[in-house]
Amino acid sequence: MATGGLDRSVRLWDAGSGRERGSLLRHAEIIASLAFSPDGKILATSSKDRKVRLWQLASGQELVTLEGYTDTVMALAFSPNGEMLAGAGETYGKSEIYLWPAPRGNPIDEN
């Protein structure tokens, strides 16, 4: 299980015991969204700093940072096969959807 919030950190938890297993490097701003890959090996995070980060959970290492968005990516989800990552946000009242091949991180389509 993972949580993120106002303290800008992402914490990993053991769901059975409720104990913290560790934390990932902090974002520069409040955490907005979290999503696990279907195999549980990668965690995607977004924050108010307008960045999306992909983390390898076994090592705690950041795989890639996705940047260049005009507003916060407020929702993240992996495709069932884990090959794509979707993000959603809103800029100036216009909804935006982002799709990236995971975990490489280059957007393939922005609407």
Q: Is residue 56 part of a domain?
A: yes
> What single-letter DSSP state applies at residue 102?
T
* pLDDT surpasses 70 at 111: no
Q: In the prediction, which pLDDT does 103 show?
A: 63
Q: Is residue 7 part of a domain?
A: no
Say whether the peptide bond before residue 103 is cis (omega within 30 degrees of 0): yes
Q: Is residue 72 part of a domain?
A: yes
- pLDDT (average), residues 3-31: 85
Q: In the prediction, which pLDDT does 38 show?
A: 94
Q: What residue numbers bound the domain in which 82 lies?
A: 33-110
Q: Is residue 2 part of a domain?
A: no
* pLDDT surpasses 80 at 108: no
Mean pLDDT for the chain overall:
84
Percentage of the chain beyond pLDDT 70 is 90
Number of domains into which the chain is organized: 1
Q: Is residue 13 part of a domain?
A: no
Instruction: Collect all residues with Cβ–Cβ distance below 8 Å to 17 and sequence separation of at least 6.
Output: none
> What single-letter DSSP state applies at residue 27?
P
Q: Is residue 96 part of a domain?
A: yes
pTM of the model: 0.82
Q: Is residue 17 part of a domain?
A: no
- Interval 40-86: pLDDT, tens: 999 999 988 888 999 888 888 888 888 877 788 899 999 999 999 99
Cβ neighbours, 10 Å, residue 66? 20
Q: Is residue 1 part of a domain?
A: no
